[in-house]
Structure 1
Amino acid sequence: MHAIVVGGGLVGSLEACFLAKRGFSVDLYEAREDIRLLEHVKGRSINLALSIRGREALKAVGLEEEVVASGIPMRARRIHDTNGRLSSQPYGTEEQYLLSVDRRKLNETLLSAAESNSDVNLHFSHKLLKADFKDGKAVFLNSSEGSEVEVTADLIVGCDGAYSTLRRQIMKATRLNYSQEYIPHGYMELTIPPSNDNTFQMEQNFLHIWPRGQFMMIALPNQDKSFTVTLFMPFIMFECIRTREDLLKFFEEQFRDGLRLIGREELCECFFSSKALPLISIKCWPYHVGNNAVILGDAAHAMVPFYGQGMNCGLEDCLVLDEMLGAYGDDLGKALTCYSIKRNPDVKAICDLAMYNYVEMRDLVNSRWFVFRKKIDSILHFFMPNSYIPLYTMVSFTRMRYHHVINKWKSQSKMIDSALIVLFLASILAPTTYFASRKQQWRLW
């Protein structure tokens, strides 16, 4: 059978590998030029935090070891307060860590893996114009030649991102429910360069966070000993910083140690030559139309990046779709329908969790109560590893379905809250009961 993959990003390249392994002849069409030939790639470059869901998808096509070898383990959060004091919050056990990977390098690895398969053909500078799902046709504009190309396939897979053209075509063809939300916060990327002796300026095996309530800054390590820094805050705050003095004063007050690491001149040059970019959350349903088209990754469920699951969820999409294709063989209609039904509650759940984790990262990590609850989670997980699992562990270090994660988390939270209430009441009632009984004894004496 013949398949078309629209979009040559991370998910599209991986999906081409999966389909080829499943026996499809695959044509991958990417609107951009081949990024492997470009010196600079436009668009997002936020470092990616690879966790178990993404790793399992890569493992299924034999790419996990190669990708892991080029990443840097991040075993804990390193919290920076306004005075530069540091504290750590481990993610889990020694074996449980996130992997900081470079977006471009990972994309190039996946493209090369797809291209190395004789059943996959890559077509760059081909933009999707329209699709006819009744006949299984797609029309692309070859921008390098200015000509249109019409292709017919048994399966069309859209992996063309949050502003997906294929999704728009599906919306015209069926009753697809769709919602999007821009949050009030944007992001801007900065850089902490290597030190003069070409070493990391901060400890590298951490995801560094500067939580400040309504805004925050994070930093992930790179192989070249630099850190990619991302500043998240409301657009109105970005807009209030208009001069060099405004910027330096803001960083002196909020990110003093970060300012020293980035450098005053470098900060000003980068900040005023860039602009804050938006963050969007997208949900839709269903993910397929008929028996020949489906959307994966951001095209189906763009999410804010605060749980580090956007890429991992997208790569897991490929794994879940492959499981459905394996279960139903040549019955593409049944496979796609079952994929939509199975995946929808999970991606809705992780989109909501991603929003929740932004509040946690920018604000709750500073709370003593939050740290206390984290310690309780760790203790209970140590003594009951199979029955009590912390939320972050379930999301990042298992393949438990996302909506099951939320249900289990809510159940565990109720249990802990009830236990803490009982302990609190016991701590009050026990002394009261004791002294009341002693007072009664004194009276008897």
Structure 2
Amino acid sequence: MDTTTGANGCENYPKLKVAIVGGGLVGTLSASFFAKRGHEVHLYELRPDIRHLEHVPGRSINLALSIRGRAALKEVGIEEQVVQRHGIPMFARMIHNLDGTTKPIPYGKKDQCIYSVGRRFLNEALLTAAEKYSNVHCHFNEKLVSANLNQGKMTFERQPNKEVHNVEAQLVVGADGAFSSVRRQMMKQPLFDFSQTYIPHGYLELCIPPLSDGSHAMPKNYLHIWPRGRFMMIALPNQDGSWTVTLFMPFEEFGKLSTPEKLLDFFQQYYPDALPLIGKEKLVSDYFAYKPSPLVSVKCGPYNIGDTAIIIGDAAHAMVPFYGQGMNAGFEDCRLLDAVLLKHNFDLGPALIEFSKTRRPDAEAICNLAMYNYVEMRDLVNRKTFLIRKHFDNLLHTLMPDLWIPLYTSVTFSHMPYAQCIKNKEWQDKMVDRFLSTMAAVVVAMIAYFVYSFAF
């Protein structure tokens, strides 16, 4: 078997033939990680090359890039291109009240932000970065129809002529999304766990166009949120001055808005400040052009089949989008998988087992957090108790930055394992409860003392 020099310049490891199924964000980034280690990489994507399409099929919620994703992009040399040239920093949530007033809620410290990045641009940038390696071979219009993952054998159907051909690889990487064909093959294996949960809420994308001079119609360095209890709307800025607006609601609420009149009345009632920004005609046109899309959370495991196959990204842990960590977690998968493979000198058996065992608890943790954050975004952000606790956490974080790390900060602005982020939050909640109980006891004791003093 061929070998190549390891990252430290003195270790040797096997040179592998790697087949990556899925040419989206995670698959293309994974291709660069394997390519820079000298492996032969074949990337198979069902869609045509999106760089040659005028319109990319399907819709997507805008991307919020944070430190976990940036760290992975940095390791393949494109972080600066993405962040500096095409990312728009968002330093806070901008909350839109019913009366049209707004209030910012910072994400963290003054200089901490997440970046709004267009999905298509990022996917194209990752494809181009991967193809700069001579050992990366991209195959578009390829549909996986069957596989024997224990042997690294797959059958693809080339579109549109449906020509069938077979592929073999020493390692199969499934990065083909929430409805992964690779995972579907894994589900045939004994002892493979799988669950998926659809929430009763869907989403529908709208758009706030740029102003006549090409500028943004709202302050651009914010993620704008219209929280309305059972539903909400968010808007993320784009480079061209427009905003990608996403309306999240129960499907039954979408069903009630069956005519232009009902839709406009609904927006006038709940989003009066957004209505003139979108425009009545554009709102009606965009709203009725598509049906609302479902939101699914997927948990499964193990992520590997022996030493021949692994799933990463949404294929392993699809999540609802409310923590902005789906892409970031997928990118972190690429970085962590690369690290564990290097640790084991690309001995696939122990490396894939370790990745699956260590990553699964963290992936399930962020799936759970994403579910919770929907409640926070559409409801809790308007409650005084939420704001008081947030200010309290930020104060303690300023005083004790290494000891007291707020949940959102640990998830978004650190590399703390997701499961540890939850444990950290649980510990903080216990400390706060004890503090409040102690304060309550002190107050009661003081009242009792004064009552006793006045009585006698």
Query: How high is the TM-score relative to the length of structure 2?
Result: 0.95
Correspondent of 2:220 among 201, 204, 216: 204
Equivalent residue, structure 2, for 1:38: 53
Partner of 1:385: 401
User: In 1, Cα distance between the equivalents of 2:445 and 2:233?
Assistant: 45
2-side partners of 1:264 and 1:209: how far apart? 20
Aligned to 2:168: 152
1:443 corresponds to which residue? none
Q: 1:16: which partner in 2?
A: 31
Q: How many residues align?
A: 440
- The letter for the 1-side match of 2:297 is S
Gaps of 5+ in 2: 1-15
CA distance in 2, matches of 1:200, 1:427: 51
1:60 to 47, 72, 75: 75
Q: Which residue, out of 415, 436, 444, partners 1:399? A: 415
1:263 aligns with 2:263: no
Root mean square deviation of aligned Cα: 1.1
Structure 2 residue 255 is the aligned partner of structure 1 residue 239: yes
Counterpart secondary structure, 2:274: helix
Q: Which shifted more, 27-36 or 142-151? A: 142-151
Residue of structure 1 in register with 2:143 after alignment:
127
* Matches of 1:372 and 1:14, distance apart in 2: 40
User: Matched residues in 2 for 1:369 and 1:172: separation?
Assistant: 48
Identity, % of aligned positions:
54
Partners of 1:174 and 1:289 within 8 A in 2 = no
Write the letter of the residue equivalent to 1:316: E
1:76–1:205 Cα contact (<8 Å) kept = yes
Which residue of structure 1 aligns with residue 384 of structure 2? Answer: 368
SS of residue paired to 1:257: coil
SS at match of 2:68: helix
Alignment correspondent of 1:164: 180
1:100 aligns with 2:106: no
Q: Does 1:251 align with 2:251?
A: no
- The reply to whether residue 277 of structure 1 matches residue 298 of structure 2 is no
Contact 2:150 2:305 survives alignment (8 Å): no
C-alpha deviation, 1:94, in angstroms: 2.3
Please state how far the C-alpha of 1:426 moved relative to its aligned partner.
2.6
**Deviations 1:383-422 (Å, cap 9, x if unpaired)?**
0000000000000000100001100100001101221232
Deviation at 1:237, TM superposition (A): 0.2
Is the CA contact (8 Å cut-off) linking 2:151 and 2:308 kept in structure 1?
A: no
Aligned residue among 8, 12, 28 for 2:43: 28
SS in 2 for 1:337: helix
CA distance in structure 1 between the aligned counterparts of 2:91 and 2:173, rounded to whole angstroms:
35
Specify the code of the residue in structure 2 equivalent to 1:357. Answer: N
Match of 1:294 in 2: 310
Q: Any runs of at least 4 consecutive aligned residues in structure 1 with deviations exceeding 4 A, and if so which?
A: none
- Stretches of structure 1 that go unaligned for 5 or more consecutive residues are 441-445
SS at match of 1:128: strand
Q: Does the 8 Å CA contact 1:46/1:230 hold for their aligned counterparts?
A: yes
- For 2:454 and 2:115, locate their aligned partners in 1 and report how far apart those are by CA, in whole Å: 60
Q: Contact 2:302 / 2:356 at 8 angstroms: preserved in 1?
A: yes
**Residue 134 of structure 1: CA displacement?**
3.3
Find the partner of 1:194 among 210, 216, 225.
Answer: 210
Distance in 1 (CA, whole Å) between partners of 2:390 and 2:195 is 34
- SS of the counterpart of 1:219? strand
- State the SS of the aligned residue for 1:79: strand
How far apart are residue 431 of structure 1 and its match? Answer: 4.0
SS in 2 for 1:94: coil
Partner secondary structure for residue 138 of structure 1: strand
Q: Does 1:230 align with 2:246?
A: yes
State the AA in 1 paired with 2:235: A
Secondary structure of the 1:172 match is coil
- Tell me the alpha carbon deviations over residues 22-41 of structure 1, each in whole angstroms, 9 at most, x when there is no partner: 22100000010000000111
Q: Could you tell me which residue of structure 1 aligns to residue 96 of structure 2? A: 80
**Partners of 2:290 and 2:282 in 1: how far apart?**
12
1:47 to 46, 59, 62: 62
